[in-house]
Structure 1
Amino acid sequence: MIKTQTVEGLEVHFCLPTKKTTRPPVLFIHGAFAGGWMWTETFMPFLAKAGYPCYALSLRGHGGSHGREHIDWHSVSDYVDDVKIVVDWLGQAPVLVGHSMGGFLAQKFLEHHETPGVALVCSVPPQGLIASQFHLMFQKPHLFSEINRIMEGDYTDTNTLREALFAGEVDEAMLTLWLTQMQAESHRALWDMSMFNLPNLHAMRRPPMLILGAEHDVLVPAFLVQTTAHTYGLPAHIFRDMGHAVTHEKEWPLVAATLRDWLNDIKP
C-alpha cells in the first residue's frame, strides 16, 4: 500500500515490505515535468514485494511539495538539497534510483555524499542535456517544440506524450492521467543540467552503479546512455522496444526485475 507523508514541505510516498527486512531502503528520484507519483503504481510495489522499503520524493515545486509558485527559481543544487533532506529523514543511507533528471541529481548527490548504490534510469548523462536537446531538435522538431510548451506550463495532448515517452502500446486512460499530472519545469534547473552545474566527476563517490536505457528513447537516446556507461567504465543495459517512460511501458516488469536483481547484490 502506498502512503504519503510531508517531510519539511516535501511530499514523500512510501511503500514498505509486509515483513521485517535487512535490505537497504530505496529512494526514487523523478524526472523533469513529473513528481514522486511516477513510481507509485509500478516500481515501488514491485520492489517492496521483493523486500525493499521504497520511498519516492517529489522535489520542491513538484507534485504535492512546496514551492510550486517559484518553480522557475529552483536550481539543481536546490533539488539535491531536497534529496539530502529525505535521506536524513530516513536515517539510513538509501540506494538512489533516478529517472532522467533524477539520474542527473543522483550523480550530483555523489559529489558530497555516500550511498550504497545508484541506479541511473534513462538518465541525463554527466555531460549534460545539450546533446540530447540538439538530437531531438533535428530528429523531431515538432516534438521539441511541444516539449517547450510543456516547459512553459501549457498543456499538450496525449499523442505528444505518447511520442515523447513511449515506444509500445499505451493505455489511453493512463496517458490522460499523466497529462493532468505533468507540469512546468524550472528553466534554471534545465540550464544547470545543460552547462552551468554539471557533475564534478573527480569529486564524485563511486558506489555500485547500474545504468539502464531504452532503445527508442527520444529524450535521452540510447547512445547517450552508452556515453554515461563509458564515462563510469560500466556496461549499459538497453531495453529493446521501449521509450523514455520505462516505468510504465507494457514490459516495465523487465526493467523492475533487472533493478531488483542488481539490488540483491547491494550491501546496506
Structure 2
Amino acid sequence: MPFGPFALQWRAPSPNPPQPSSPLPECITRRYISTPSGPLELLSAFPTGPKSSKPPLFFAHGGFGCASVWLSYMTYFSSRGYPCYAISYRGHGSSWYPGFWRMYFTSRGTMAEDLVAGVKEVERLETETRSAEEKVRVVLVAHSAGGALSQYALSKGLVKVHGFCMLAAVPGFGSWSVYKFWSLTAPIHFPYRLFHPRYILATTKQVHDAFFTASTPTRVVKDLEALLSPYESMLWPMQAAFRFVTGPDVISSVVGWRLRKGSGSNGFAGVAPRLLVLAGEKDVLCTPSILRDAATRYGEAFHHCARVGKLDGISESDVRVGGGKGDGWDGVSFKVATGLGHHLQNHVNWESGAEEILRWVQKL
C-alpha cells in the first residue's frame, strides 16, 4: 500500500474538465455553464408529457460531492412532474478543476459564485421554456457543506428562491459541533496525509463511517467514493466554523410566502413551510439535535420577519407560534429521515428522505 499522502491525488485531472467516468441514466442530460473561470457541469432531468407548472428543483452538493450524487433524487422527482437540475462546483464532478493549491485556498465567496451561476442559468432556462412573464424561481435543496454555502448565498441576497431545503446541512450559526466526529482521528490523519484535504476521507472505511450507517453494503459506499473529488478547498469549510448568518437574512431571500388553506376561523391554517430542515436519524456529522437547533433558530427568525413586515403578504397575526416540534413553527419545518446517515440521497433506502422532501415541496 502506498505511503498515505501518495495514495491521494495532488494534481488537476487531465483533460480538464475531466471526461465523465460513467454514462448517465437515460432520463438525465449533461450540459455546461460557461463562466469567466471555466465550464461548470449542470445535470438536468425533465418530466415527460406536457410542460410542468411545478417549480424546478435545484440540487447543490456538499464538500467532495458533485452533481451525480443526486441521480436517484433527480430520477425520482422528475418522474413526479418536477424539472430537476444539479450543479458541480469548480473542482468537482465534470466541472473545471483549479490546481491543487489554488483549490486548497478557494474561498466560500468564490464557491458561491458557482452556485449562483447555476441558479441563474436554471432561472433563465425555466423562464424561457415556460414563456413566463415573471422570473421562475427554483426550490433549492442543498446538502452538507453545500447547505452552508447556500445559506451564505441567501444571506447575502445573491439569489432568491421559491423554497429552501437544508438536507443534512451544515448550519449557518457555526459548525464546530459538526466536526466533532473527527476530533480524535483528524490530528493523526492530517499530518500523516501531509495536510491533503481528503485526509479524513482517504479510505473506503473512512467514507463509510462518516457518510453511511454501519449496515450499508460496501458496494454502495464505493459507488459514492468513486464520485468524490480528488481534493477540496480547505478554506471554504473553515469559513463556516463561526456564525455567518443572522437568520432573518436567509428567510428574507425565500420568496412567495403565502397562507395555507385550512379549517381555521378565517379559512386558513398558517403559513406554508418554505424552509425545510431535514436530518438523517443516524447522521454522525449534522446530527438531528444540531439540525433541530438550526430549525428552532430559523423558526424564530421567521416570526421576527413576519413581526417587522419583511415578508410580503404575511403579517404577525397570520403566524401561529408553535411549541418547536415537527411542524410546530409556521414557515419552517423540521423532519428526521428514519434510518439514514449523512448522505441521505446515496443510501440503499434513499426514498425515505426523498419522500419527506416530496411531501414538503407539494405544500409550496
TM-score, structure 2 normalization: 0.67
Structure number with bigger Rg: 2
Equivalent residue for 2:91, pick from 61, 70, 83: 61
Shift of 1:73: 2.8
CA–CA separation in structure 2 for the residues paired with 1:249 and 1:144: 29
* Kept after mapping to 1: 8 A contact 2:73/2:354: yes
Q: Where in structure 1 are there 5+ consecutive unaligned residues?
A: none
* Kept after mapping to 2: 8 A contact 1:33/1:182: yes
CA–CA separation in structure 2 for the residues paired with 1:57 and 1:144: 32
Shift of 1:86: 1.5
SS in 1 for 2:276: strand
Equivalent residue for 2:238, pick from 188, 191, 214: 191
Q: Give matches, 1:145-156, under 5 Å.
A: 152-153=197-198, 156=202
Q: Give matches, 1:202-221, under 5 Å.
A: 202-204=248-250, 205=252, 207=254, 208-221=274-287
Answering whether residue 32 of structure 2 is matched by residue 6 of structure 1, we say yes
Shift of 1:200: 4.0
CA–CA separation in structure 1 for the residues paired with 2:171 and 2:115: 19
Q: Which amino acid aligns with 2:185?
A: H
Aligned partner of 2:117 in structure 1 is 85
CA–CA separation in structure 2 for the residues paired with 1:47 and 1:198: 32
Answering whether residue 168 of structure 2 is matched by residue 136 of structure 1, we say no
Shift of 1:144: 7.6
- CA gap of 1:22–1:32, structure 2 versus 1, over 3 A, is same
- CA gap of 1:145–1:24, structure 2 versus 1, over 3 A, is farther
- CA gap of 1:36–1:132, structure 2 versus 1, over 3 A, is same
Answering whether residue 152 of structure 2 is matched by residue 105 of structure 1, we say no
Q: Which amino acid aligns with 2:121?
A: W
Shift of 1:36: 1.0
SS in 1 for 2:336: strand
Shift of 1:114: 1.6
SS in 1 for 2:240: helix
CA–CA separation in structure 1 for the residues paired with 2:249 and 2:354: 30
Shift of 1:115: 0.8
Shift of 1:56: 0.3
Aligned partner of 2:69 in structure 1 is 38
Aligned partner of 1:244 in structure 2 is 342
Shift of 1:262: 1.1
CA–CA separation in structure 2 for the residues paired with 1:89 and 1:211: 25
* Kept after mapping to 2: 8 A contact 1:168/1:249: no
Q: Which amino acid aligns with 2:142?
A: G
CA–CA separation in structure 2 for the residues paired with 1:147 and 1:161: 16
Shift of 1:15: 0.9
Aligned partner of 2:296 in structure 1 is 230
Shift of 1:106: 1.8
- CA gap of 1:137–1:163, structure 2 versus 1, over 3 A, is closer
Shift of 1:96: 0.3
Aligned partner of 1:118 in structure 2 is 164
Shift of 1:57: 0.2
* Kept after mapping to 2: 8 A contact 1:168/1:242: no
Report sequence identity in percent.
Answer: 24
Aligned partner of 1:174 in structure 2 is 220
SS in 2 for 1:232: helix
TM-score, structure 1 normalization: 0.89
Q: Which amino acid aligns with 2:288?
A: A
* Kept after mapping to 1: 8 A contact 2:143/2:166: yes
CA–CA separation in structure 1 for the residues paired with 2:111 and 2:163: 19
Q: Which amino acid aligns with 2:339?
A: D
